[in-house]
Amino acid sequence: MGKVIANMSMSLDGFIADPADGIDHLFGWMGNGDVEVPTAVDWATFRMSPASAEYMRAALSSVGALIAGRHLFDITHGWGGTHPVGVPIFVVTHKEPADWPHTDTFTFVDGVEKAVALAKEAAGEKNVVVASAKIAQQCLEAGLLDAIHVDLVPVVLGDGVRWFENLRGTTRLGNPTVVEGNGVTHLAYPVVR
Amino acid sequence: MGKVIANMSMSLDGFIADPADGIDHLFGWMGNGDVEVPTAVDWATFRMSPASAEYMRAALSSVGALIAGRHLFDITHGWGGTHPVGVPIFVVTHKEPADWPHTDTFTFVDGVEKAVALAKEAAGEKNVVVASAKIAQQCLEAGLLDAIHVDLVPVVLGDGVRWFENLRGTTRLGNPTVVEGNGVTHLAYPVVR
């Protein structure tokens, strides 16, 4: 059985986007190196440091389904119909978008519990990755996360969209596995139940 | 010339204390190992993992002066007169406390610029460590920090006192040096000017 993993690029002060949803400061590590990491789409090929590339290849090959929030779906225009990770996407939303044609890979689900259940089923032995801050918060509160993978970027943004907020309780994590990239430190924490 | 370094134990979600100023979740790594690291006081001897002990010994031996905020000074009762680091302390405050007897090692200073200048003078070739969140924020805003050293603790606190907030701008950092302890990951970032 795969794990449910929340994964985001985050600034040292905890932001996953600037106040205007910009990610320029946070995604640079995906393009600042020489090692190509292909994705499922033509418009996104990563070029990373060797360490990040090895880490990313392993991560990509172990993902079986993705969960995103409606806001992320909207601001990326549904990744044009195909997410770079190339797996089934479960979008948590109260209202399904009208006329969305890519229903083969996109499923719209009301509530995180249901999204996680469906994504796990779709992922089989592989992992489910939660790729939106608010959804990750809700999954953490609901005890649905097995791991938190932070791509920690060496910048203090000062303001923006926080990954972790609106949390009622404290969650203990285990020691992370650490991979040192360039412009990023990959920290993979298990959630302690 | 030494560096001016902001150093704190921080949760993954960016808190350096719980809402009641408690630090139980954040300082465990200082006592969860077998390797003793003595301090300048009888009441505090660290017992850490080998990796943290080596990191801490190097850090302690390179500190020449400490800057703290008035709130930290008050809640620790001025560390009983002697800070475990055993170096001159510069407390940033608008109002000097009455009847504080330890004026040989404690200096009360109005404003971070003046505190940093005096602390650098006292530290000589050694480093100045900034040990309060608000003072570190002010130093960062004023361009006075050379480095940010985070002892990143594997816990999501959910609420508390944030290290980084009230910042007007974005600060780029260099890649960190990383030391993996037990219950902590030591990340030492240079500030990019």
Average pLDDT, chain B: 95
Interval B65-96: pLDDT, tens: 999 999 999 999 999 999 999 999 999 999 99
Among residues B119, B128, B134, B6, which one has the least CA distance to residue B70? B134
Q: What is the pLDDT of residue B42?
A: 87
Interval A134-183: pLDDT, tens: 999 999 999 999 999 999 999 999 999 999 998 989 999 999 999 999 99
Cα atoms in the Cβ-side hemisphere of radius 13 Å centred on B76? 17
Q: What is the pLDDT of residue A142?
A: 95
Interval A18-51: pLDDT, tens: 999 999 999 999 999 999 999 999 888 899 999 9
Q: Is the CB of residue B150 less than 8 Å away from at least one CB of chain A?
A: yes
Residues on chain A touching B161 (C-beta within 8 angstroms): none
Q: What is the mean pLDDT of residues B112-125?
A: 98
The two beta strands, A161-162 and A46-48, are unpaired
Q: What is the pLDDT of residue A44?
A: 86
Cβ–Cβ < 8 Å for B128, B3: yes
Q: Do A155 and B174 touch (CB under 8 A)?
A: no
| Nearest-Cα residue of chain B relative to residue A189 | B154
Q: Do B154 and A168 touch (CB under 8 A)?
A: no
Give which of A7, A13, A26, A144 to mutate to test B binding, by max B Cβ within 10 Å: A13
Question: Scanning the structure block, which residue is given the tokens 């499922």?
Answer: A40
Helix or strand run (H / E) with residue B117: helix B112-123
At residue B100, φ and ψ (nearest 5 deg) are -85, 115
Q: What is the pLDDT of residue A166?
A: 84
Q: Which of B170, B178, B182 minimises the CB distance to A180?
A: B178
Q: What is the mean pLDDT of residues B173-181?
A: 98
Residues whose CB is less than 8 angstroms from the CB of residue B56 and which lie 6 or more positions away in sequence, other chains included: B37, B46, B48
DSSP string of B67-101?
EEEHHHHHHTGGGGG--TT-S-EEEE-SSPPTT--
ipTM of predicted complex: 0.94
Instruction: Delineate the domains of chain A, giving CATH numbers in brackets.
Output: 4-190 (3.40.430.10)
**pLDDT band for position B175 (50/70/90)?**
very high
As beta bridge partners, residue B90 has B67, B107
Q: Which tokens is A74 given?
A: 């909207």
Q: What is the pLDDT of residue B138?
A: 96
| Nearest-Cα residue of chain A relative to residue B149 | A12
Residues on chain A touching B140 (C-beta within 8 angstroms): 156
Interval A51-88: pLDDT, tens: 999 999 999 999 999 999 999 999 999 999 999 999 99
| Nearest-Cα residue of chain A relative to residue B29 | A175
Interval B143-167: pLDDT, tens: 999 999 999 999 999 999 999 998 9
Cβ–Cβ < 8 Å for A173, A191: yes
Does the pLDDT value for residue B179 go beyond 90? yes
Q: What is the pLDDT of residue A122?
A: 97
Q: What is the pLDDT of residue A111?
A: 95
Q: Which tokens is A16 given?
A: 């996953």
Beta strands per DSSP E along chain B: 4-11, 15-17, 35-38, 45-48, 63-69, 89-92, 106-109, 127-130, 147-153, 155-156, 161-162, 171-172, 177-180, 185-190
Q: What is the pLDDT of residue B36?
A: 96
